[in-house]
Amino acid sequence: MKAKVYVTLKPGVLDPQGKAIQHSVELLGFAGISDVRQGKYFEIALDNSLDADGAREAAERMAKGVLSNPVIEDYRVEIE
Amino acid sequence: MKAKVYVTLKPGVLDPQGKAIQHSVELLGFAGISDVRQGKYFEIALDNSLDADGAREAAERMAKGVLSNPVIEDYRVEIE
């Protein structure tokens, strides 16, 4: 089973890395870009000792406790 | 319009950052994790000068040319 965790900065938190990417792509000639924000993405392979509910619960706990900083970041978990 | 770009290491490319995360979460007591891989995630807000096809084309070009290293990374683009 695979869990996918997406971590993004909360709206309102400044994203200087995203701004740098936006500036760079504009210099490279891409037009019509109004904002770029960078996040993180994790693919977690889980063995078969966990069922779908257990996998989601473990992935949520991992996302909240280890993979994201809940003060400035949101996370989203998908189970496949 | 918003483009979401997911960049992941190609299968077979070593991911020491993912291995470090896997080791850490195991030390923290999470069981049943067989692999962790880290990727990147970008949210690109596009203004209305582009239609859906143009937005996809621009996002694909950006993903291929700027946001990923096509030698070791794959990318996936979603338009919303």
Which chain A residues are closer than 8 Å to B38 by Cβ?
A: 40-42
Rounded to a whole number, what is the distance in Å from the CA of A78 to chain B's nearest CA? 14
- pLDDT tens string A16-34: 999 999 999 999 999 889 9
Considering only the beta carbons, identify the residue of B28, B35, B41 that sits closest to A40: B41
pLDDT digits (tens, 9 = 90+) for B6-38: 999 999 999 999 999 999 999 999 988 999 999
Tell me the two tokens of residue B3. Answer: 């483009």
Q: Which residue of B has its CA nearest to A49?
A: B32
What pLDDT does residue A52 have? 86
Rounded distance between C-alpha atoms, residue A67 and residue B12, angstroms? 23
Query: Taking the model in full, what pTM does it have?
Result: 0.88
Decide yes or no: CATH 3.30.1280.10 for domain A2-79.
Answer: yes
- Pairing mode, if any, of strands B2-9 and A33-46? unpaired
Cβ neighbours of A31 in B, within 8 Å: 49
Domain locations in chain A as residue ranges: 2-79
* Biggest distance spanned by C-alpha atoms of chain B: 50
How much is the pLDDT for A50? 83
* Selected residue of B4, B5, B30 to mutate for chain A interface (largest A Cβ count, 10 A): B30
Distance from the first to the final alpha carbon of chain A: 6
- d(CA A50, CA A56) in angstroms, rounded, equals 9
Q: Which residues of chain A have pLDDT under 70?
A: none
